[in-house]
Amino acid sequence: MPAAPLAPEGRTVLDARDIGRALTRISHEILERNKGAGDLVLLGIPRRGVPLAHRIASRISTVEDVEVPVGSLDITMYRDDLRLKPARALLPTEIPPGGIDGKVVVLVDDVLFSGRTIRAALDALNDVGRPRAVQLAVLVDRGHRELPIRADFVGKNLPTSLSERVSVRLADLEEDGIDAVSIEAKLEVTE
């Protein structure tokens, strides 16, 4: 029998039901803003943005009875902190058949923080195609923006201090095992 998933460290602010409700609301907001799912393509930003994009697409499919194309967009080589941090493994970029040219692309990520990940995603998107419009859906917006980037669809605005870390865990990922969002104290790094 597999071991039960561990509860997240820190203070849990969203449980599985909260996450489900947030994703359902985001799905409906995407449909309302775009007047249906006709030209939508969802691109998740690995790691946790990809399963969130699939969940949103599933909810949209239930409402609209149409399959929304879902893919992933790796931003590793577009990050502005590559020289500051250890090497990272590249994750797949998978663009759905039909591409993104002329489509409404909804980028999906778990947490919006400084805005630098989304800036990198926009740069990566330019190398893949030319969408008609780009929108952003995030499960959590924690503030502290360093760039002028704002999410179009937010599951939960979660004001945090810079000394805190927002941790998203998703049951879709084996290493997480449960759906939960928690706030944790950042570990101090001493040399």
35-64 residue pLDDT tens = 999 999 999 999 999 999 999 999 999 999
The pLDDT assigned to 187 comes to 67
CB atoms within 10 A of CB 187: 7
3-class DSSP assignment, residue 31: helix
- Closest of 79, 172, 66, 60 to residue 122, by C-alpha: 79
pLDDT digits 0-9 by tens, 114-143? 999 999 999 999 999 999 999 999 999 999
pLDDT digits 0-9 by tens, 145-156? 999 999 999 999
For residue 117, CA distances in Å to 2, 149, 167 come to 34, 10, 16
- Write out the two tokens for 158: 């979660």
- pTM, 2 dp: 0.91
Secondary structure letter of residue 6 according to DSSP: P
Query: Residue 47, preceding bond cis, omega within 30 degrees?
Result: yes
The mean pLDDT of the chain is 92
The pLDDT assigned to 163 comes to 94
pLDDT > 60? residue 191: no
pLDDT > 90? residue 87: no
The pLDDT assigned to 182 comes to 97
* Comparison of pLDDT for 79 and 134, the residue scoring more: 134
pLDDT > 90? residue 92: no
- Give me the domains of the chain, ranges plus CATH numbers: 13-82+93-185 (3.40.50.2020)
The pLDDT assigned to 1 comes to 46
